[in-house]
Every structure is written in C-alpha cells, then in structure tokens.
Amino acid sequence: MKIGISSNGTKLSDVVAESFEKSKYLLIVETDDSSIEVFENKDLDSDRIELAQKLIDHDCEAIITGSIEQPAFDVIAVAQITRYNGVGYNIKESLRLMDEYKLNFIKDFEGSDDSDNHVHSCAH
C-alpha cells in the first residue's frame, strides 16, 4: 500500500508538515517494502493541485498531513484518498499510528476530524 506524507524533510525522523500546500516535500512510502519516493514541492505559492495529483498518479491510498486547502482537498477527496492528521508526529511514528488506527481523519478542508468514528477505508 502506498501512503503519501507531507513533510519539511526527507527522513523518517522528520515531522509531518502542518500544511499540505506549504510542505517542502511529499514522501510516498510503499508499506510493503518500506521504499520511499521523495518529491520536492518546488512552487510553494501555487494551489498545490499538482502535489495532490502526485498522490493519484502514484496510486496512494492515504495521505498523512496537516491542513489541506480546499482546491487540493477536493482533488484528494474525489480520488477517495483517505486523509489522516499526523501533525505532531514524525513520519515513522505517524505511519505506525495510522496502522494502529490511532490517527484522526481529516474529513473536510477546514481540518475537522472524525475522532469519534475510526472507520478506515483502506485495506491493510
């Protein structure tokens, strides 16, 4: 399974970015073999649709991030990519918490989570 993670660094010890659009990197982790692809967010001033499109192009089932602005959120939601709030955790820890169903969902672009209902749509 492929998971996208927004971060300001490229190592598993780096923290999840507070904002999808303002993250310096998008990491795509293949959980089956722990391989990582890194994509630099070169244009921090654009609407980040292209960064959201990377998730779709790489067949990601989920994104771990912080806030997501509406244009990118809409692209991600329409693609049925599950959105998790991983702010405050490093990448390695956020992946573990997601696997243990302990990360909250981001259910709308305003950042609301669904902390009372952990129904996961991605297969493990």
Tokens 């073999």: give the residue: 33
pLDDT the model gives residue 118:
42
Residue 122 lies in a domain: no
Q: Does some domain include residue 11?
A: yes
- Residue 88's domain comprises 2-105
Q: Tell me the torsion sign for CA atoms 123, 74, 19, 113.
A: negative
Q: Dump pLDDT digits (tens) for 3-41.
A: 999 999 999 999 999 999 999 999 999 999 999 999 998
Residue 28: inside a domain: yes
Express each pLDDT in 31-66 by its tens digit: 999 999 999 988 655 556 889 999 999 999 999 999
Domain membership of residue 115 (yes or no) is no
User: What's the whole-model pTM score?
Assistant: 0.86
Query: Quick one: pLDDT band at residue 113, thresholds 50, 70, 90?
Result: low
Residue 62 near residue 4 (C-beta atoms within 8 A): yes
What does the H/E/C string look like for the chain? Answer: CEEEEEECCCCCCCEECCECCCCCEEEEEECCCCEEEEEECCCCCCCCHHHHHHHHHCCCCEEEECECCHHHHHHHHHCCCEEEECCCCEHHHHHHHHHCCCCEEECCCCCCECCCCCCCCCCC
**How many domains is the chain partitioned into structurally?**
1
70 part of a folded domain? yes
CATH of the domain at 44: 3.30.420.130
